[in-house]
Amino acid sequence: MMAISETADVGSRNMDEKAKPRFSSDLPQVWIGMAFIAVTGFVPSLLGNSYWVHTFQLVNIYIAAAIFQNFLFVDAGQKSFGQGVILGLGAYVTAIFFGLHDYPFVMAAGLGLGAAALGGLLFALPALRVQYFHLGFVTLSAAIVFPQLLMSLDRWTNGINGISVQMEALHHETLFGLTPLTIIVALYPMLALWVHYFIRRSQLGRQMRVAAVSPEGARSLGIKPGYMRFTAFVIAAIGTGICGVLYLPTVSFVSPQGFNVELSFVFFFAVVVGGRGQMLGPIIGIWIVFILPNIALAQFVEYRLLIYGFLTLLTVILFPDGVVGSIERWRSKRGVTGRGEQAFRVDSFLDRLKGGKPVEPTDEIVVEVRGGTKKFGEVVAVDNADLKVRKGEIHGLIGANGSGKTSLLNVLSGLSRLNSGSFVINGREATRMAADRIANMGIGRTFQTPRIYPQFSLWDNLKVGIDARTGEPNDDIVRLAEALEKEFREDSAALLSHGQRRLVEVMRTVLKEASIILFDEPAAGLSQSERANFSKLVRFLSRQLGKTIILVEHDLDLVWGIADTITVMEQGRIVASGTPDTVAKDPAVQHMFVGGRRA
Amino acid sequence: MLLEITVIAVRGIAIGSIFAMIAMSFNIVHGATGILNFAQGNMLVLGGFAAFFLANQVELGWWLLMLPVAGLLVAALVALQGWVTLLPLRSSVEQDSWIISTVSVSVILGAAVLITQGPFAYTVESVVPSFRILGVRTPGAYALAIGCMIFWYIAMRLFLKKTFIGLAISALSQDFDAARAAGLPVRRLQIIAFAISGLMVGTAGFLVAPVISISSDAGLRYILNGFVAAVVGGIGSNLGTLIGGPLVGVVGMLTAYKIGGAYQDLASLLLLIAILMLRPQGLFGRSSARRV
């Protein structure tokens, strides 16, 4: 009897787990991709078809380059039109040292790889300062200039004649007609897939993706977006540089025409057509973009560019997710079932965090602004403001629209800088600190529009909070994280309601173990019952977890219900500050309550 | 010595005027839509193409008649391109598909030119005779380039300040949501902005056809140099392009004379990287290129 019920139990649990389809198909896509590459890489050799052997050697190298383009494009958000340059640098420098100066191949390849990495640095340096379309132009320019340089620096590059190399050892047939080269160039794109997969699953990968879609959100989590872009360009350059090194023995010849703008466009367009961000995207993309015009339409070589262009334009307009992305979208749509209010509740999780007796605010000052002034052109958003926030208190910041509350909040979180005055956080001068450093001092914040990343599972959306932690986690948080992971690992965050999104942001700051939390109009858009729950949550954060809360909010009932101290702003100035009772009686703020709450 | 300086200055400023016009055509579209049209250089080449087919070796009267025709043809094409580019932005969460679509249009136009004419550049005979500055023979089209730049600068200034449509487009560039909330027909204004940018580069391409290379790969090089001109001047500032364009032109000419013609684009690239590293907002930029 016992045994039967136990089995039944296990069975039902399995059913439960089955009921949730995988949120991310990255891993199956990697396995399918490996199978595709293995088939196209090895089967032509087994059949003894040397044309296809050679073609797929090149295709596999291009697939690897497109995988790194995909990583750079989607995970890091950088549109590079110059990856062909990086590949060319790897190939050409290797060819120069190996073919013209008789260096050993390994040494020449090392130099080629170094050159590719340096090329990546050329892209990465401006990326530290700027982003967006600027980098697109920098990389496109590089793609235009590179073949010109190969031509004009003919003293070193042999100019238009190019460089031929012989590498017999790699072309010797071994088992089943496979040459060492065939095996290497098939294994490399497989390795590239795994590299992409593991970076994406790592803390670095998550932070990169956050920085790519929301730089402010990233900085409030202690991430430096410029550094993320820089790292991504360098990683992509090394990966693509290896493609260049492999290109040399495969083609046995390099010339300037081989590395014109067209090559860079092939990688870029392949990613778009195949499906941006999908693991399989670059493989399917290269097959369509490179093989189709080159082989199926071999007689129309001059139409190749035209076909690339049209394929890409049609993809963007008709099915912007690309081939694999469209299939993936259909799959995830089929699997997604909205869970309504059950989708994200945190009460039961937070109950586990409950300490012993409640914590009361102390008199220690953790945030202090002295004479802070912030101007936008002629407009004075914050005007000589003084503010003191005690440790552990809930500090309400109220005032009409445009009175400078959010500006002050942005200053405190480092997203904008004071024109004059100063402020101190946890006893440290923070006036000129960058947002990511302030975040690393234990500040967490939420935004008026919650920063939710739909490409992440619900759990990964929370996990970026853990990634942002600076110290060792406390045991309770570790247990909380484990419980949350178990529950939300395969859930999508895309269907969450506004209130639930707000909760995700709050939980993120809890997991980050921020000691000071800044809320920017958290109740806006919440229903009455959600507001009540939110009040309880804020109270809990302050009294049970001992966090200091600064709350910018228009809902005066909510603020008066939970705040320990209230500061009133008007036209950038602070006009009143004190306990809720004294502020309510202050004549300077009476007019705010006309028709409103307790007069 | 004086001769060389004159040649470098005159040619540099004249070629730079073309870059300045591309930069101005960037500005109007960027202001209205946030889009930078990567195909703008190819559109300029199409203006030159129009000159070759419509007004090569013709009389002054016919040439003058064909100038607006070429401008309007390119304007219609850019408006169509703008409409297509804006299509996916209507609903999509992702707002940067325009980079992909404008780049692909640029590639399509380049390939189309390659297919119709082969890899060699067309040459167009100048209607305006050449003249001498300080003893240097200067093609008439150089004067036209500078004149065209000044014309478009003044025309854009008046258009954006004095006409209703111009003011509405300026409003878009100030605050997009507010303009929409105020009931402006945003999409139509954006297409008009695209059309105006086409008119600008179409007429420019037509006028300077005798001195530019009308070939399949020229478009990308004009786009590069036009963008550098826009960044140097500060994206969004037409006044800045009047400085940025000629500056890029003169740097290119100087490079061509001192180092070699093959290094002109490299010089532009290095100038671009330098300005992005040192002063990303450009000389007169109001909106910073540097986003957090």
Domains of chain A, with CATH numbers? 21-333 (1.10.3470), 364-452+509-592 (3.40.50.300)
- Rank A299-308, A324-333, B115-124 by mean pLDDT and report only the highest: A324-333
Read off the pTM: 0.90
Phi–psi pair at A567, nearest 5 degrees: -115, 135
User: Is A252 within 8 Å of A166 (Cβ atoms)?
Assistant: yes
Q: Which of A485, A491, A342 is nearest to A19 (CA)?
A: A491
Say if residue A8's pLDDT is above 50.
no
Residue B187 and residue B193: Cα distance in Å, rounded? Answer: 10
Q: Which residue is associated with the tokens 């990465």? A: A124
Question: Which residues on chain B are in Cβ contact (under 8 Å) with A81?
Answer: 103
For the record, the structure tokens of A179 come out as 């040459």
For the record, the structure tokens of B148 come out as 């065209």
User: Is B156 within 8 Å of B199 (Cβ atoms)?
Assistant: no
CB-based contact A320 B272, cutoff 8 Å: no
Residue A475 and residue A473: Cα distance in Å, rounded? Answer: 6
Say if residue A15's pLDDT is above 70.
no
Distances (CA, A) of B74 to A207, A299, A338, A498, A562: 44, 32, 49, 46, 63
Q: Is residue B176 assigned to a domain?
A: no
Phi–psi pair at B132, nearest 5 degrees: -115, 135
Which distant-in-sequence residues (6+ apart) come within 8 Å of A119 by Cβ? A85, A86, A89, A142, A237, A241
The confidence band for A76, taking pLDDT boundaries of 50, 70 and 90, is very high
Question: Which residues on chain B are in Cβ contact (under 8 Å) with A309?
Answer: 104-108, 111
Q: Which of A285, A346, A292 is nearest to A312 (CA)?
A: A285
Q: Bridge-partner residues for A395, per DSSP?
A: A550, A565
The pLDDT of residue A300: 66
ipTM for the assembly: 0.90
The confidence band for A512, taking pLDDT boundaries of 50, 70 and 90, is confident
Count CA atoms within 13 Å of residue A45 on its CB side.
23
User: Is B128 within 8 Å of B115 (Cβ atoms)?
Assistant: no
Q: Is residue B209 assigned to a domain?
A: yes
Q: Is residue B170 assigned to a domain?
A: no
Question: Which residues on chain B are in Cβ contact (under 8 Å) with A151?
Answer: 262
Please state the rounded mean pLDDT for residues A508-518.
89
Question: Which residues on chain B are in Cβ contact (under 8 Å) with A227?
Answer: none
Plot region of A474 (φ>0 → left; ψ -120 to 50 → alpha; else → beta): beta
DSSP state of A51: H
Q: Which of B268, B151, B262, B257 is nearest to B208 (CA)?
A: B151
CA angle, A416 then A418 then A419, to 5°: 125
Which distant-in-sequence residues (6+ apart) come within 8 Å of A417 by Cβ? A374, A411, A431, A432
Q: Bridge-partner residues for B137, per DSSP?
A: B132
The pLDDT of residue A341: 62
For the record, the structure tokens of A73 come out as 């494009």
Interface of A with B in 57-116 (CB under 8 A): 79, 81
DSSP state of A158: -
Name the residue facing B100 among A272, A302, A303 (closest C-beta): A272
The confidence band for A93, taking pLDDT boundaries of 50, 70 and 90, is very high
The confidence band for A9, taking pLDDT boundaries of 50, 70 and 90, is very low
Bridge pairing between strands A163-164 and A253-254:
antiparallel
Provide the b/e sequence for A53-79 (b: ≥16 CB within 10 Å).
bebbbbbbbbbbbbbbbbbbbbbbbbb
CB-based contact B224 A140, cutoff 8 Å: yes
Q: Which of A367, A524, A558, A573 is nearest to A589 (CA)?
A: A573
Helix (H), strand (E) at residue A170: none
Cβ neighbours, 10 Å, residue A81: 26
DSSP E strands, A83-233: 163-164
Three-state DSSP state, B194:
helix
Say if residue B91's pLDDT is above 60.
no
The pLDDT of residue A216: 85
Phi–psi pair at A561, nearest 5 degrees: -70, -30
Phi–psi pair at A364, nearest 5 degrees: -65, 135
Residues in chain A, total: 599
Q: Is residue B169 assigned to a domain?
A: no
Please state the rounded mean pLDDT for residues A468-497.
83
Q: Is residue B172 assigned to a domain?
A: no
Distance from CA of residue A299 to its chain's centroid?
42
Phi–psi pair at B131, nearest 5 degrees: -145, 175
Residue B150 and residue B179: Cα distance in Å, rounded? Answer: 30
User: Could you tell me which chain B residue has the CA closest to the CA of A494?
Assistant: B93
CB-based contact A137 B224, cutoff 8 Å: yes
Q: How far is A314 from chain B (nearest CA, A)?
A: 9
For the record, the structure tokens of A387 come out as 């503010």
Q: Is residue B192 assigned to a domain?
A: yes
Report CA torsion sign: A362, A367, A370, A372: negative
Q: How far is A5 from chain B (nearest CA, A)?
A: 49
B125 lies in which domain range? 2-161+188-278
Say if residue A139's pLDDT is above 60.
yes
Per the structure, how many domains does chain B have? 1
Cβ neighbours, 10 Å, residue B27: 26
Strand order in the sheet with A443-445: A443-445, A516-520, A548-552, A394-399, A565-570, A573-578
Q: Is residue B85 assigned to a domain?
A: yes
The pLDDT of residue A449: 85
For the record, the structure tokens of A82 come out as 């110059």
Question: Which residues on chain B are in Cβ contact (under 8 Å) with A269?
Answer: 104
Residue A152 and residue B262: Cα distance in Å, rounded? Answer: 7
User: Is A588 within 8 Å of A561 (Cβ atoms)?
Assistant: no
Q: What is the mean pLDDT of chain A?
A: 86
The pLDDT of residue A599: 36
Residue B264 and residue B262: Cα distance in Å, rounded? Answer: 6
User: Is A25 within 8 Å of A173 (Cβ atoms)?
Assistant: no
Q: How far is B111 from chain A (nearest CA, A)?
A: 5
CA angle, B30 then B35 then B38, to 5°: 105
For helices A83-95 and A261-274, what crossing angle results, to 10°? 130
Which distant-in-sequence residues (6+ apart) come within 8 Å of A415 by Cβ? A216, A219, A220, A435, B292
pLDDT in tens, A341-391: 666 777 777 777 766 678 888 888 999 999 999 988 788 889 998 999 999
Report CA torsion sign: A520, A521, A525, A530: positive
